[in-house]
Amino acid sequence: KGGLQVDVGVPAFLPGSQVDIRPQRNLDKFVNEKYDFKILKFSRERGNIVLSRRVVLEAERKALKRDTIDQLAEGVVMEGIVKNVTDYGAFIDLGGIDGLLHITDMSWGRVNHPAELLSVGQTVPVVVLKYDEENERVSLGMKQLHDNPWEKVEAKYTQNSTITGKVVSLTDYGAFVRLDEGIEGLIHVSEMSWTRKIHHPSKVLSVGQEVEAIVLEVSA
């Protein structure tokens, strides 16, 4: 009860708290699997052996952390595993140390929630934006792995040119249209019709609709 019996040539006990670094509710998945353990207690008289897998994992993680820290520097590209997803970003396990990938650094395009792009357990490439060695805080980016599309926007979308895009959101004052990855344009409600007054963009447009429009102004 509260752990697992392990065969190490003789019966030994692995407490539930020593199975993994993180608490495990389901211990059944560890049955019939082979692992390395450290002996915590041994009593020949009682025939009692208590094991820990957690201690082994923590030692491995510390060694991995040292290797990862040696690599950390601004601009370094690494691979990490998504550990947790929040409203404001995602925590990425870089190997013994976690970094924060803020929602604003995930894509040049619109991201309403990190879960749109990431899921727990997913392996992702990231670039180190900042490393605070004293506090062991790592800021990460994904969009920085690609060119900023706004740097070429004025050359690509010239004034009075006709463009086609998809409506991605509606507000009281207009509609935002996706022109390219990371590039959105605004159709102001006052520019939607010559013949009638539009009180709300939803009267003429809907999210997901393909629209054709003329570029009135470009501001990068």
The string of DSSP codes covering 130-143 is EEETTTTEEEEESG
Whole-angstrom CA distances from 125 to 14, 85, 152, 176 are 36, 16, 24, 29
Say if 154 falls within a structural domain: yes
- Hunting for tokens 């395009």 — which residue is that? 109
Segment 74-94 shows an average pLDDT of 96
Give the model confidence (pLDDT) of 117-153 as tens digits.
Answer: 999 999 999 999 999 988 889 999 999 999 888 888 8
The identity of residue 140, as a single letter, is L
Residues 140 and 159 in one domain: no
Question: Which structural domain range is residue 161 located in?
Answer: 149-214
Say if 37 falls within a structural domain: yes
Number of domains in the chain: 3
Answer with the one of 129, 145, 161 that is the final residue of a domain.
145
Say if 173 falls within a structural domain: yes
37-46, 72-81, 96-105: the lowest-pLDDT one: 37-46
Inter-residue contact 99 to 92 (CB < 8 Å): yes
20-24, 94-98, 112-116: the lowest-pLDDT one: 20-24
Say if 122 falls within a structural domain: yes
The distance from CA 209 to its chain's CA centroid, rounded to whole angstroms, is 29
pLDDT of 21? 86
Segment 67-83 shows an average pLDDT of 93
- The kind and range of the H/E element at 155 are helix 153-156
CA distance 93 to 67: 13
pLDDT of 74? 93
Give the model confidence (pLDDT) of 167-198 as tens digits.
Answer: 999 999 999 999 988 899 999 999 999 988 99
Segment 56-70 shows an average pLDDT of 89
119-136 burial: b if 16+ Cβ within 10 Å, else e: eeeeebebbbbebeeeee
pLDDT of 1? 57
Task: Please tell me whether the overall predicted TM-score, pTM, comes out greater than 0.75 for this model.
Answer: no
Residues 76 and 141 in one domain: yes
In percent, the amount of the chain with pLDDT more than 90 equals 71
